[in-house]
Amino acid sequence: MSMSLITSTVWQGLLWSILALGVFLTYRVLDIADLTVEGSYPLGAAVAISYIAGGGSPIVAILLAFVAAAIAGAVTGLLHTKLQIPALLAGILTMIGLYSINLRVMGGKSNISILRMDNVYTFFENFGLDKNMSILVCGLVFVVVIIAFLYWFFGTEIGAAIRATGSNKQMIRAQGINTDITTIICLMLGNGLIGIAGALIGQSQSFADAGMGTGTIVIGLASIIIGEVLFGTRNFMNWLLAIVGGSIAYRFVVAIVLQLGFNQNDMKLLTAIIVALALAMPLIKAKISKIKGA
């Protein structure tokens, strides 16, 4: 594996780890399977790329992507908490609606490009770094800032209330906390991070596509589960870092599989198999232990 391929694999893992962190907030912290991700990810890319294509600042584009995706998360939260629609179905409804919104954002086109236009990575390229190293450094900066923010935020009173909402909703309600608000905040924050991932990945590819969100929930889950298995969850900071490590490890698995000659079209099937095996690992270990004990 060449150094260029290794660098490319690492930066892809870093950028996708931001999406995985967003999925982590809803899947692990809030204990909700939120499918909004498959709409908020391309929404982030669509907003950012469309804004840059119109001559806007790449940094402002990322902020707008965060806000747009956070609003999408709020819609899911309101459907779930105020209309009592099951969380899974609420996410699906938002995801479906976002497909049309994404097309609107991109001016009715299914994809939009910013080839040969400045993006957020151009700043680092001006220091003499090549494209791969520029994306890697930029991705690392964003990951460090986001992890530091999440670690601080979930140490605050509202952050602790969100974690408690996912662990025991009845108990936190008894403490006088409005769990509807904590649920909506977590969904907004999670999808906002996913929007940032969409904006960064869209800029690394120099385009946004309305269909680029297909299968992203599975990739996020794969990163979370692989990270938990490889690096553990001893404390909250370790958990966050494990997700980043899991995302990079997943990208290396993909790179190795492609190097072995597998078809790119089979990658989502492979990802689904990896996630299924990882989710079944506790049961498999229990079965093995039982057989050994017998």
Q: Which two tokens stand for residue 52?
A: 């840059």
Percent of the chain, pLDDT > 90?
Answer: 64
Residue 12 placed within a domain: yes
Instruction: Answer yes or no: is 233 within a domain.
Output: no
Q: Using only C-alpha atoms, what is the Rg of the chain? A: 19
Residues 171, 72: contact at Cβ < 8 Å?
no
Whether residue 284 is contained in a domain is answered as: no
Look up residue 269 and give its DSSP letter.
H
Give the Å distances, CA to CA, from 99 to 53, 92, 264: 20, 11, 24
Which domain range does residue 33 map to?
3-210
In a domain, 294, yes or no: no
Q: What's the token pair of residue 72? A: 């999408």
Domain contains 58: yes
The answer to whether position 140 is within a domain reads: yes
Give CA–CA dist 103/211, Å, rounded. 10
pLDDT at residue 267, rounded to an integer: 78
Confirm whether 230 is domain-assigned.
no
User: Helix or strand or coil: residue 30?
Assistant: coil
Label residue 294 by pLDDT band (50, 70, 90). Answer: low
State the Cα–Cα distance between residues 39 and 104, nearest whole angstrom: 13
Residue 240: CB atoms within 10 Å? 22
Total domain count, the chain = 1
Average pLDDT score over the chain? 91
pTM: 0.92
Report yes or no on 254 lying in a domain.
no
pLDDT tens track for 186-195:
999 999 999 9
Question: Is a pLDDT exceeding 80 seen at residue 221?
Answer: yes
Instruction: List the one residue out of 79, 74, 45 whose CA is nearest residue 62.
Output: 45
